[in-house]
Amino acid sequence: MTGKVRTIYICQSCGYQSGKWLGRCPECEQWNSFIEERTSISSRRQQGQGIQSGAAPIAITHISADEGERLPTGIEELDRVLGGGVLPGMVVLVGGDPGIGKSTMLLQVAGYMGCSGHAVLYISGEESAKQTRLRADRISALSEHLLILPETSVERILAHIDQLRPQLVVVDSVQTLSSEQMQSGAGSISQVREVTARLVEMAKSTGIATFLVGHMTKDGSLAGPKVLEHMVDCVLYFEGEASHAFRILRAVKNRFGSINEIGVFEMAKDGLREVRNPSQLFLSQRPEDTSGSVVVCTLEGTRPLLIEVQALASPSPLAMPRRVATGFDVNRVALLIAILEKRVGLHLHGEDVYLNIAGGIRVTEPAVDLGVATAIASSFRDRPIHPQTVIMGEVGLGGEVRAIPQLEARLREAEKLGFQQAVIPEPNRPLGLLGGTLQMIPVTSLAHAFERLF
């Protein structure tokens, strides 16, 4: 390739470019984030000529507002997160830790769509065609319409796509691809940005739905520049622990749907299985008559989930007691402990407090505050909560219990699983919302709740 080559320095965090190395990025203020990249000036000129010959401006009133028909992926939990299916020309970036199930899920999607008669091109940059075939055998994703392409050159990939014109393209993974117009190695910031830009341009111009698999860094973010997430239409994260069988699929960006929905999966030997009733699964191993164990109801998008909160309070030998939380914000735990000490009179300043959200799920909703505070108090007093009680409510700094949204949906989920009573905020007192057997216990404060529970 001819053309003058120059060296630039690019921030790995935000993509900021500089002509010289800098110790601290002036854009995102990260230290030691610059890496050296070599770019070709001729390739930039070719890109500029392509822009000049691009599409002409169109009046917004002349553009069709029809999104198009969504294609089902064959996995209802994935369709829920995407907003009802995948749209033509939609570009979805899927990230997650190694081995969590990204490639397995997308191969299941490719197999289903291939069996439905849609042409699918699966680009494998990390595995050979034989390895992909063995995985497809294991998860029953074989189809004559599913084509495997073990290739890493984006130019050759785009040529195959232009010739085959599939309805779905899966790229596993985008960090393994490279462009011949760039001199840097595959996986570098310049290559990832260039490859993704060309795949997005292909998807938008042809209407081909595209899934991209992205690697994760050690700090839990997608590898490559942050601008990578801005280029695509949807960003999905796979969450889960290696020691747990459950996987949570969460959307952090979605131009065509809500970002509040989650999908719940269970890893099995034949691939990822959908969990249709995650509340029942999360509570299946809950011990009864154990202090510190409380069932709460959290809302993920439109889906209410019943989960178990476990707390352990024990005397601390340290001058500064430990505050440890798994699946919950540890700063929120410290705040609730301070409220329990000030408003209820529990002497927790000499206690180590450990909190765990069972099942490996992470909870951020304030509606579980009352349940977390009750679990800590239950462990401290060594008095168990009735096992058929579900607790929900937000706790203010004054110890008051505040209203929470969509209470009716939460109560119906609790009633469906056979719970007998529900502790709810007094401002949320339902007026004939449920005609079942679920007994309501409205409370106004933490002290009031503890009077009714202990």
Domain ranges of the chain: 1-41, 69-276, 281-453
Copy the structure tokens of residue 66.
């029809």
Q: Is the separation of the CB atoms in 353 and 319 below 8 Å?
A: no
- pLDDT mean over 43-60: 59
pLDDT tens per residue, range 264-317: 898 888 888 998 888 888 888 888 889 999 999 999 877 899 999 999 999 999
* Alpha carbon distance 452, 440 (integer Å): 11
Question: Cα 216 to chain center, whole Å?
Answer: 13
Mean pLDDT, the chain, integer? 88
pLDDT at 9: 83
Single-letter code of the amino acid located at 244: H
Residue 63's Cβ-side half-sphere holds a number of Cα atoms within 13 Å equal to 7
Weakest mean pLDDT among 6-10, 359-363, 423-427, 433-437: 433-437
Give the pLDDT band of residue 1 (cuts 50, 70, 90).
very low
Architecture of domain 69-276: 3-Layer(aba) Sandwich (3.40)
The alpha carbon torsion through 29, 35, 40, 44 (nearest 10 deg) reads -30
Weakest mean pLDDT among 21-30, 111-120, 166-175, 377-386: 21-30
pLDDT at 225: 64
Residue 47 confidence (pLDDT) above 80: no
Domain pair 69-276 / 281-453, same fold: no
Architecture of domain 281-453: 2-Layer Sandwich (3.30)
pTM: 0.75
